[in-house]
Amino acid sequence: MQYSRYFAIARNHRRLLVIGLCAGLVAGIASGFGVPFFVQRVFKNIFEDVETTYSLGYLIFVSSLLPGVFLVRGIAGYINQYFLQWTVQNVLLEVRQKLFEKLQILPIAYFERRQSGDLMAKLVGDTLQVQHAILLVARDAFVQPFTFLAGLGYLVYLAFEQKQMGFLIAMVVVAPLMVAPVSYVGRKLRRRSRSLQNTLGELTDVMAENLRGVVEVRSFNLQERERTRFTEKLKDYNRFAMKMAKYYHMTQPFMELLAVCMVSIAFIYSYQKGIGFSSFAAMGAALFFTVDAIKRVIKMLNGLQKTSGSFSRIETVLAEEETVRDVEEPTDLLNPVGNLQFENVHFSYHDSAESPDLHIDQLEIPHGTICALVGPSGAGKSTFAKLIPRFYDPQSGHIRFDGTDIRTLRKQDLRSCIAFVPQAPVLFNGTVRDNIHLARPSATADEVVDAARQAHAEEFILSLPNGYDSVVGENAVRLSGGQRQRLALARAFLKNAPVLILDEATSALDAESEIKIQDALKKLAKNRTILIIAHRFATISLADTVLLFEKGKIRCRGDFDTVMKDDLFRRLYEIQLGDPAQQASR
Ligand SMILES: Nc1ncnc2c1ncn2[C@@H]1O[C@H](COP(=O)(O)OP(=O)(O)OP(=O)(O)O)[C@@H](O)[C@H]1O
Ligand SMILES: [Mg+2]
């Protein structure tokens, strides 16, 4: 487990930490030494010194000693808690930020290997666990050791004063007894903590999936299946939580029993050695604070063990390697026009270059052209498109952008030159305008409207209750599939990038809208490179070049008439060929 990261961040808040620590020192001494010391002094005067008659003023002075020491203890304790919590909150803020930042830069493949629910659980659940743990540390880690040492110091002082060394020896023998059960419980807790958090991740996965599949759950009547799945995970979670509880709550009663035993021994010892009431009371107070300090430290250590699973789960994300990295000294991209070249590119999703999912020998897609990618489902069209903005890096070969290998460019520069509309675009919660505008925040209101017009989206936007200022809702569930696609297109058009990649971006549109968008694309193609993955003839026929994909390779390339000669192409489009309406739209 790595706590060094947390200490390193805490160091940035040194000043607050030092104030908190000093206050902790004062509070610890006031508790462990001050309280028993004054107890002895007051009790001696009041109960044992029966010969002397004290004046009322002196009595008031003596009896205010104890409230005084508690006042110091209270104020110092408060300052200690306040400043340490301040530090802790700041440490957590940074950890959460770091975690979120990491999720922004990790490669897409990372997210495909993991469930989003589990990542959410890490981001929310685990950081909350860590927060509990660090708060516990802040509360007890500094005050309690000081209290313990001060209390012990007082006991030593008392032993010397009363000349009772046997008492000290007894202390030294009993103390290690207290540590043994703690380390046992700690080990048990550590092992279970990770399992507990992993089950919480699985639970969140089930929940997230259920929410994503609201429609499927209802249409396939999957409620019972979902309930069972959820209940199973819930029971798992409860089982692990109870396993932890079994051990976690074991230490407290054990420690208390031990403490009471010690007091009983102290009774016998005091009686036999004739120790006075004031010293006994002081010893009791000192013992209380030392034992209480140990108890709290133990509770804190066990609390840390309990959340060690969360610490390591967060650590796994933070330590995750970023595989699609920028080079040390990236090349600047000056006046990008969007010439694309592929050279012996092999790519596999499974990190094995032997049976590549995609294999492109030589290919050039020149600036100013429209290139259509066609082929059967699973042939590798989307994969091919995703290599261009470096969503994945090929295992071997080169992809060049305006003659420069894209690996030597800054990812940010490269991506700002590519407008990519994926197969299932996501809209963010916000207004229609925001959703388009985010592609190029510097764009003017007119440019936003213009992009919407090109994407043939203006008509439906204006029919919404608040036009461009209508809120689309989470993932635009209140819009139709085609409307969502048009907003995604408008966003890509607004970006005004040299390369435009549309992965079945018009598949949900009616023929009329699609024709309008094709007109826009033809105009746009004059000064950029457009890649369209599409199944409809109308769209394909727009292209200067057609690439026919089959099993990860380009089976045939050329203009429309050339690929028409290919059997596979003809077979794929037979139905459309036979459809006079489709032919008419060509
Ligand atoms: N993230 C992924 N991880 C592993 N394999 C993948 C991943 N995405 C796609 N594949 C596999 O790679 C192959 C090519 O998929 P790709 O999505 O490129 O096909 P496509 O030509 O776009 O198909 P479609 O027309 O259905 O969209 C498929 O066999 C698919 O199973
Ligand atoms: Mg695809």
Q: Residue 76: what pLDDT?
A: 94
Interval 112-138 mean pLDDT: 83
Atom 24 (ligand 1) nearest CA: 377
The residue type found at 127 is T
Cα separation of 126 and 201, whole Å? Answer: 9
Which comes out higher in pLDDT, residue 183 or 111? 111
Cα separation of 272 and 255, whole Å? Answer: 26
Which token pair is 465?
């209750």
Residue 166 φ/ψ, nearest 5 degrees: -55, -35
Given pLDDT bands bounded at 50, 70 and 90, which one contains residue 239? Answer: very high
Check whether 579 has a pLDDT greater than 60. no
532 C-alpha vs ligand 1 centroid, how far in Å? 16
Q: Residue 585: what pLDDT?
A: 47
- Max avg pLDDT among 53-62, 80-89, 452-461: 452-461
Decide: 348 in ligand 1 pocket, CB within 6 A: no
* Pairing verdict, β 396-401 and 545-550: unpaired
Q: Which atom of ligand 1 is nearest to the CA of 384?
A: 18
Q: For ligand 1, pick from 114, 357, 392, 551 the residue to mutate: most ligand atoms within 8 Å of CB.
A: 357
Decide: 379 in ligand 1 pocket, CB within 6 A: yes
Q: For ligand 1, pick from 108, 112, 349 the residue to mutate: most ligand atoms within 8 Å of CB.
A: 349
Decide: 550 in ligand 1 pocket, CB within 6 A: no
DSSP lists the bridge partners of residue 421 as 502
DSSP lists the bridge partners of residue 405 as 400
Q: 190-194, 236-240, 341-345, 523-527: which has the minimum mean pLDDT?
A: 190-194
Q: Measuring CA to CA, which residue among 422, 429, 543 is closest to residue 478?
A: 429
Q: Which atom of ligand 1 is nearest to the CA of 423?
A: 27
Q: Measuring CA to CA, which residue among 94, 61, 77 is closest to residue 29?
A: 77
Q: For residue 355, which ligand has an atom nearest its CA?
A: 1
Q: For ligand 1, pick from 114, 323, 345, 383 the residue to mutate: most ligand atoms within 8 Å of CB.
A: 383
The residue written with tokens 């109870």 in the block is: 242
Decide: 111 in ligand 1 pocket, CB within 6 A: no
326 C-alpha vs ligand 2 centroid, how far in Å? 27
Atom 14 (ligand 1) nearest CA: 380
Decide: 204 in ligand 1 pocket, CB within 6 A: no
Count of residues in the chain:
586
Given pLDDT bands bounded at 50, 70 and 90, which one contains residue 396? Answer: very high
Decide: 446 in ligand 1 pocket, CB within 6 A: no
Domains present along the chain, CATH in parentheses: 4-318 (1.20.1560.10), 336-417+497-586 (3.40.50.300), 425-496 (3.40.50.300)
Check whether 584 has a pLDDT greater than 50. no
Per residue in 318-375, pLDDT tens? 888 888 899 999 999 889 999 999 999 999 988 765 666 899 999 999 999 999 999 9
Decide: 267 in ligand 1 pocket, CB within 6 A: no
Atom 26 (ligand 1) nearest CA: 377
Tell me which DSSP letter residue 534 carries. -
Q: Residue 581: what pLDDT?
A: 47
Decide: 473 in ligand 1 pocket, CB within 6 A: no
378 C-alpha vs ligand 2 centroid, how far in Å? 7
Q: Residue 296: what pLDDT?
A: 85
Decide: 359 in ligand 1 pocket, CB within 6 A: no
Decide: 357 in ligand 1 pocket, CB within 6 A: yes
* Under 8 Å between Cβ of 244 and 251: no
Which comes out higher in pLDDT, residue 329 or 294? 329
